[in-house]
Amino acid sequence: MTELLNNAYNTESFRESGHKLVNLLADYLDEALTSPENQKVLPWLIPEKQLDKWRKHLKSEISIEDTFKEIIENSIHIHNPKYIGHQVSAPLPLSALADLLGNFLNNGQAIYEMGPVSQAMERIVIEWISAKLNLSEKAEGILTSGGTIGNLTALLAARQAKSDFDIWNSGVLNHKLAFMVSEHSHYSVERAVKIMGLGEIGLIKVKVDEKFRIDVSNLENSFNEANENGTKIIGLIANACTTAAGTYDFLDEIGDFCNSHKIWFHVDAAHGAAASLSEKYKYLLKGIEKADSVVLDFHKMFMVPALTTAVIFKNPEHSYQTFAQKAEYLLNKEHSWFNGANRTMECTKIMLSLRVYMALHAYGDKLFTDFVETTYKRAEEFAELIKETKNFELLFEPQSNIVCFRYIPEGINSEEKLNAINAEIRKKLTEDGTFYIVQTKLNNKIYLRTTIMNPFTKISDLKKLLGLITIMS
Ligand SMILES: Cc1ncc(COP(=O)(O)O)c(C=O)c1O
């Protein structure tokens, strides 16, 4: 045993550094919530300078505590109420602590004995959310690392279930299989289809309405057209909700369409599944119970750290068929819910379930209800504010906590100029760092896109954002 190894595992240093880190994070959270104006959301540095900084740091003698501080200072501050950018949650302190616990225990979960607690908790978390989504009592699923992998996992199951040959072993060559996808599906859906080897012909893009929801009246046409071209449609992917504009597809009607054609119905509810926790908003998910598979990201609307994704299957059999593989030393032929690797892309997996389970245990459903209702309502209020404020145009009334708008200065009508102005605003905002928002292009128009991910974001913060944009442009 070397002295260095001994020192690296020293229990007293661990205790000391751990206490210091928790103190730092508690102060950091306090500042973000009580005096957010003292903190730039994004301490902007160009990538080369950032790289240079950490190259120098690596060679320095800076202490562990000061390094923790520097990491915090130079990161984007998701807990600051003026962070209203991409759909990443401001994690609950308890979920972050659960993560520390899980990372330290490092129970890998590929097979039961490598993660007995987290495997049982995973089953409980999936049962809980399946019930909220009104899925069949028999539904089963798994947790995995992100919606991107989640969508791929679900579509692999769809392909296995709906192609009438043993595709896992024979491959996809010479088979024109396709999924119907919304033009507004998240890019991970197209990526999954391409990874599966279905190519461009594997994507039948269906039309959307003026709110970027699948145009249900056009589905039959798209289906027949593809069939006539010799393509076998095996499934359809609906959004709940769309990434760019936050609108929910008509799941009920789409579910009926899929059932009538006996194709797989997958709902990408990575962002919007949380509406199921609210009596007020759960109507948005009507019909989700018809889905063969559902993906949802707990790290988006459930206040837990990334990545924590659930993939749920209406028929548990399908979850086992996804990976029809043999590995005598590890994988189990029997259908055992407690052997994770049978059903996930990952072999070793971090203890994802702890993050959700701990929050559920400590606070109950109501915490998640409060979160979704607070953030969705704030988005409605923000939309009102945009409509009332001179020179701003709201894309449309939000259905979720995603709000898109643009700045239209007086006398400017050219779409090209408006695009340039709004792209410039977003660039200036990023470099300024007081707020963090993103941009998106819809119908060839650049919109500023905000997602209210923090329940502490107040309407006064959003007023300040519009004020800053007006001053900047
Ligand atoms: C609808 C939708 N699906 C999938 C994803 C991908 O999720 P992840 O970033 O967890 O891989 C996103 C991410 O924003 C999304 O909005």
Cα 182 to middle of ligand 1, angstroms:
15
Which residues have C-beta within 8 Å of that of residue 240, sequence separation ≥ 6?
Answer: 248, 249, 251, 267, 268, 269, 271, 272, 273, 275, 284, 285, 288
Confirm or reject: Cβ of 270 under 6 Å from ligand 1.
Answer: yes
Confirm or reject: Cβ of 278 under 6 Å from ligand 1.
Answer: no
Residues 356 and 406 in one domain: no
Last residue of a domain, one of 363, 387, 403: 363
- Above pLDDT 90, what percent of the chain? 88
pLDDT, tens digit, 9 for 90 and up, residues 157-210: 999 899 877 777 777 777 899 999 998 999 999 999 999 999 999 999 999 999
Residue 422 falls within a domain, yes or no? Answer: yes
- For residue 183, the enclosing domain spans 100-363
Residue 444 falls within a domain, yes or no? Answer: yes
Residues 337 and 409 in one domain: no
Residue 1 falls within a domain, yes or no? Answer: no
Residue 83 falls within a domain, yes or no? Answer: no
Residue 465, both tokens:
């954002």
Confirm or reject: Cβ of 308 under 6 Å from ligand 1.
Answer: no
pLDDT, tens digit, 9 for 90 and up, residues 38-49: 899 999 999 999
For residue 239, the cross-strand partners are 268
Residue 113 falls within a domain, yes or no? Answer: yes
In this structure, the chain runs to a length of 473
Number of domains in the chain: 2
For a ligand 1 pocket test, name from 144, 148, 152, 401 the mutation site with the most ligand atoms within 8 angstroms of its C-beta: 148
**b/e map 225-258, b = 16+ CB within 10 Å:** ebeeeebebbbbbbbbbbbbbbbbbbbebbbebb
Confirm or reject: Cβ of 144 under 6 Å from ligand 1.
Answer: no
For a ligand 1 pocket test, name from 149, 151, 183, 188 the mutation site with the most ligand atoms within 8 angstroms of its C-beta: 188
Residues 174 and 315 in one domain: yes
- For residue 404, is the peptide bond before it cis, meaning its omega torsion is within 30 degrees of 0? no
Residue 54 falls within a domain, yes or no? Answer: no
Residues 153 and 283 in one domain: yes
Residues 437 and 308 in one domain: no
Q: Are 130 and 295 in contact (CB under 8 A)?
A: no
Residues 275 and 418 in one domain: no
SS3 of residue 397 by DSSP = coil
Residues 334 and 241 in one domain: yes
Confidence (pLDDT) at 341: 84
Residues 341 and 419 in one domain: no
Cα 270 to middle of ligand 1, angstroms:
6
Closest-lying ligand 1 atom to the alpha carbon of residue 149: 11
Residues 304 and 388 in one domain: no
Cα separation, 359 vs 91, in Å, equals 11
CATH classification at residue 109: 3.40.640.10
To which residue do tokens 């502490």 refer? 456
Closest-lying ligand 1 atom to the alpha carbon of residue 243: 16
Give the confidence band of 109 by pLDDT, cuts at 50, 70, 90: confident
pLDDT, tens digit, 9 for 90 and up, residues 57-97: 999 999 999 999 999 999 999 999 999 999 999 999 999 99
Residue 36 falls within a domain, yes or no? Answer: no
Residues 159 and 231 in one domain: yes
Confidence (pLDDT) at 325: 62
Residue 184 falls within a domain, yes or no? Answer: yes
The full DSSP string for 4-47 is: HHHHHT-HHHHHHHHHHHHHHHHHHHHHHHH-GGGS-S-----H
Confirm or reject: Cβ of 87 under 6 Å from ligand 1.
Answer: yes
pLDDT, tens digit, 9 for 90 and up, residues 293-343: 999 999 999 999 999 999 999 999 888 877 766 555 556 666 788 888 888
- Above pLDDT 70, what percent of the chain? 98
Residues 387 and 320 in one domain: no
Please tell me the least confidently modeled range out of 206-220, 230-244, 312-326, 365-379.
312-326
For a ligand 1 pocket test, name from 182, 241, 266, 271 the mutation site with the most ligand atoms within 8 angstroms of its C-beta: 271
Last residue of a domain, one of 297, 331, 363: 363
Residues 313 and 456 in one domain: no
Cα 148 to middle of ligand 1, angstroms:
6
Last residue of a domain, one of 363, 396, 429: 363
Q: What is the mean pLDDT of residues 10-29?
A: 97
Q: Are 313 and 235 in contact (CB under 8 A)?
A: no
Cα separation, 298 vs 399, in Å, equals 19
CATH classification at residue 381: 3.90.1150.10
